[in-house]
Chains A and B, each alone.
Chain A
C-alpha cells in the first residue's frame, strides 16, 4: 500500500466571531482585543445571580447574511438552547447556544480548488456541505500562572456563529482553500474581521482516512488550537500521514483530540474521546424564539451583495479578464467595487484598468495601509488619468507619477496637468531644438551611432526626455533624432 491508495476525509468546525458593537446578550463592548482582563464585563455576561440575557439583533442579522451566502435555509422560527457543562470560563455553567432548531439548516459552498492546490495539477470545484450553522455566545478564557488559575470574562457573551462542514474535504489543501474562501466571504459581507491570529475565526479539523473507493467513515481525530490557515493545512497534512502510517503498521485509529504545537510543528494528544459528553440541551427559557418574519428578513437582505466567487466569474466573463486578474481584483470587496467603478467611468479596455490597479493602485494601498474606498484617487480620477494618456495629453510615465500627486494633493489628474504644466510637448520645433542640442553636446555618441551602434537611439530619446522633464512626446523626439542623424 502507498499513500496514493488512501484518501483523507476532512470536516471543519469553525467559530466565527461576529463584529457587532456589543455582545450578544448585554451591552458590553464586544471586541476586547488588547484590553485588560475583565474590563468589558457586566453582571449579565458574568452570569451573576438573577441576570437575564437580552438578544442583540445585530448578531441575528449578521448570522442571516452568512447563512444566505452559504445557501442555507433560514428558519422563520428558531430557538436558543442551553448547553450545560462546568468550566471556570463559563460563568453560568451553561452556554446559550442553538441546538435542533437553529438559525439556518443546510447549505454549501462550491469551492474552487486552483491547479496549484490540486494533486494532479488540474483546477476543480469541490462542493462542501454545511451541516450546522447556529448562533451562540463565546466563553471566557483561563490561564495558569504562578501556580494559580486566572479567569478573564471579557470574551464571555461575544457573539459567535458556529458553522460545521460535512466530511467533504479530501486534502489539506482543500481545507486551507475553504478557510481562505470563508475568510474572504466573512470580510466581504462585513460580518467578521475573520482574523485567525486574533481568534475571530477559529477552526477545529476532524480528520480520518479510508482506502480510495470506500464510502464509510472511519474513526476520526479532532485537531484543535490551530491559529492560522497555513497551520491548519500543515496540521492536517501531518495527521493524514500519521494515520496512514498507523494503518499501514496494522494499528487502529482512536478518536483522540489533538493539539497543534506550532513551534515544533507536531500534533500532541490532548485527550481520548471515548464517550460523547451529555450537554443536556433544553430550550433557553430566558429568551424568546427568534422570529424572522418576511419584513425583517427583507430588510436584512436588502443590500445583499454579489458574492466574491460570483463576481470573480463575472469579471472573467464580462470584462474578459484573465483568471489571475479576476482573483486578485475580487480578493476584497472594496477593491472589486473600485475596479468596476473605474471601468465604467473609463469606458475603455477593462484589462488596462486591471493592470493599473494590480501594478500601481494595489502598491499604493499596501504602502499606505488603506482600503480602496479610502484613497483620494477615486475610480473616476483613475479613469480620467487613463483617458489623458489615451488622448496623448500626457505620457505613461507622467501618468504614473500623477498617481502619487493626485493622492497627495487631492486634486484631479486634469487639474494637476493644468496646474503643473505636465501636458506632453508635441511641438516639433521645440523638440527639434532640444534634439539638436543633445546631438551637439554628445559628439562621441553621435559618432558611435553612425558607426552602427543603433541601440544608442533609445539613449538619445532619453536625453531629450530628460531635458524636457518628461513632457516630450517620445515618438516625435525619435522622429526628429532619426531625421537629424541621417
Chain B
C-alpha cells in the first residue's frame, strides 16, 4: 500500500509521529496523479485518444510547486516542534469553483479561463490554515451545472475511476474521482442539488452536504446562492468528520454562514447508534419524472440492487441498536426537481450577470463599437450550452409576467418540501427521526455520453438528493457496495439542521458493520 492510499487521519497521525514527512506524502500523491490522471482538462482539448480513455482526468490545474512549498513548511514546523495543525501534510484537491489566490479559478468555463483569483475562499483558507496541502484545482461541470462532469469547457472531462467508460457524476466529479483514484485523500466540493453526494455515490466515496450555512460560501463562485453548500469528499467517514471540523463554522465574510456552535465531529464518531431512530420512506424508493410526450408524470421503481443496499443497511443499523421507522411519508419529494428547475435557474441567471467581459474573464476579441453587442458576443462565445440554458430559463421564469406562476410557486413548493422534513424530524411528531436513510441516486454511474444533452433526464439523477438542498438539511452519501457491473452504490443519510454529527456517527457505525464486506477490498479499475 502506498501513502496515497492512506486515509487523511492516518496520514495526519503518522506525520505527527514523525514516521513520514509531508513532502513524502505529497510526492506519493503526485506520483499517483502522474500514473492515473492523464492530461489535464483544457479549453479546446481536442479529440479523445485511446490513452485518454484509460485515464481519470480529475485536474484542470495542478499546482505542485505551491503544494511543495506548503508541505515543506509543514515539515519545518514539525522539525521545530510547533503544532502544524490538525490536517498537517494531508493533501487535498479543490473543485475549481472556489477562488484560490494566485491560481486560475475557472469554474470550468471559457468565460473564466483567464481569471486568476486575488483572494482565497474561506473553506480552502481554513484547510490550508489547518496544515492541509492543496494539490490543485479539479474539474467540474461548467459552473457546476450538471450531473456527469461532461459539460466542462475543459476537456477531457473526468472519468469514473471504477470503470473508465462511466461518468464520475457531477458536478463535483473531479473531486470524487481524485479521491477515489487515490490522488488525494480529501477534496472540497459543492452541493446545490446533489453535486457532492451523487458523484460520491458514483465513485464509491463519502460525500457530505452540510446544513445550509454550516460552511461558508465566501469564495465559492455561486450557482444558486440559496442552495449552494460547500462540503467534504473523503474515502471514509472519519476523514469527512476531520475535514468538517476544519471547514465548518461562522464566517465574517458570509452573513448566511450560521453562528451556531460547531461540535467536535470526531469526538462523537464512535459513540454508537443505540436508540437512534432512522426512517425509511417509500417516496425515496421510486423516481417520478415527466413524460415529455404527453406531459404526465411517470413513476418508476429503483433498481433492485440499490433498494436492497438501503434495506441491508437498515438491517445492519437495527442490529447495532438503531430503531428503524418504516413508511415515513415524504410526499413532496417528487416536486423537488421541478421546483429546483425554477429556483436554481433564477438565481443562476442573476449570478451569471457579472460575467459581462467588462472587468475580468473572457471578452470577445472582435472589436465592438456597441456595448450591448460586446455583452452579447462575449457572453455568447464565453458561456457553454449549460449556462446558456440556465440563463434562458432563469430569465423566462423570473420575468414580471411569469414569476408568480413559476418562481413564487416554486418557492411555495420549497416550503412544502421543508415541511416534509420538519414533520419527519419533529421530536414531538409522529416519526421523531434522527435520520432518514435513502438511496443517494436512482442509478449507478451511467456511461459517458449516455445522458449528456438531455438536461431534463440528467437532472433526474438528483431527484433523491435535491430535497435536502431545498430544505437546507444536511446529508451524506456513503459507499454501500457494488452493483452487478462492479459500480459503486451509494446510500444517503439525511438529518435535521446542524446534526451532521449524528449522520457521521451513523455513517461510522455502518462502516464498522460492513468492514469485512468483500467489496471493501475491491480496487477501482484505474488503480489496477
Contacts and interface: CB of A to CB of B under 8 A. Distances in A.
Interface centre among A91, A93, A278 (most CB of B within 10 A): A93
A47 B346 CA distance: 18
Given A51-B119, A93-B354, 17 more contacts: A47-B354, A49-B99, A49-B354, A50-B99, A50-B222, A54-B252, A54-B254, A91-B359, A92-B354, A93-B350, A93-B353, A93-B356, A151-B359, A280-B395, A282-B350, A285-B256, A287-B255
Contacts of A282: 346-347, 350, 398, 403, 407
Contacts of B375: 86
Given A278-B400, A280-B403, A52 B354 contact: no
B253 interface: yes
Contact of A91 (B225, B347, B354): B354
B358 A51 contact: no
A82 interface: yes
A53 B222 CA distance: 13
A88 B359 CA distance: 8
B118 A285 contact: no
Interface in A74-133: 82, 84, 86, 88, 91-94
Contacts of A149: 371
Contact of A52 (B98, B117, B256, B346): B256
A49 B115 contact: yes
Contact of A285 (B117, B119, B225, B356): B225
B221 A280 contact: no
B218 interface: yes
Interface string B271-297: 000000000000000000000000000
B350 A84 contact: yes
A50 B220 contact: yes
Contacts of A151: 358-359
Given A51-B218, A280-B350, A282-B407, A288 B256 contact: yes
Contacts of A232: none
Nearest to A47: B354
Nearest to B408: A282
Interface residues of B, number: 44
Contacts, number: 100
A286 B350 CA distance: 12
Nearest to A83: B350
A9 B356 CA distance: 40
Interface centre among B117, B252, B350, B375 (most CB of A within 10 A): B350
A94 B349 CA distance: 11
Main secondary structure of the interface of B (DSSP, over half): loop
B110 interface: no
A485 B301 CA distance: 128
B399 interface: yes
Q: How large is the interface on A (under 10, 10 to 19, 20 to 34, 35 or more residues)?
A: 20 to 34
A182 B326 CA distance: 66
A85 to B, nearest CB: 8
A476 to B, nearest CB: 75
Contacts of A280: 346, 350, 395, 398-400, 403
A287 B225 CA distance: 10
B14 interface: no
A207 interface: no
Interface in A251-299: 278, 280, 282, 285-288
A345 interface: no
Contacts of B353: 84, 86, 92-94
24 contacts: A43-B118, A47-B359, A48-B99, A48-B117, A48-B360, A49-B107, A49-B354, A49-B355, A51-B218, A52-B254, A53-B255, A54-B254, A86-B353, A91-B359, A92-B353, A93-B356, A149-B371, A151-B359, A278-B400, A280-B350, A280-B403, A282-B346, A282-B398, A287-B255
B105 interface: yes
Interface in B238-257: 252-256
Interface of B: 98-99, 105, 107, 112, 115, 117-119, 121, 217-222, 224-226, 252-256, 346-347, 349-350, 352-356, 358-360, 371, 375, 395, 398-400, 403, 407
A143 B525 CA distance: 59
Contacts of B217: 52
Contacts of A55: 255
Contacts of B359: 46-47, 91, 151
B350 A54 contact: no
Interface centre among A49, A50, A84, A285 (most CB of B within 10 A): A49
A89 to B, nearest CB: 9
A92 B112 CA distance: 15
A80 to B, nearest CB: 10
Given A88-B371, A93-B354, A94-B353, A50 B400 contact: no
Contacts of A50: 98-99, 105, 117, 121, 218-222
Given A52-B256, A86-B356, A94-B353, A285 B226 contact: yes
Contacts of A52: 217-218, 253-256
Contacts of B218: 50-52
Nearest to B252: A54
Contacts of A288: 255-256
B367 to A, nearest CB: 11
Contacts of A43: 118-119
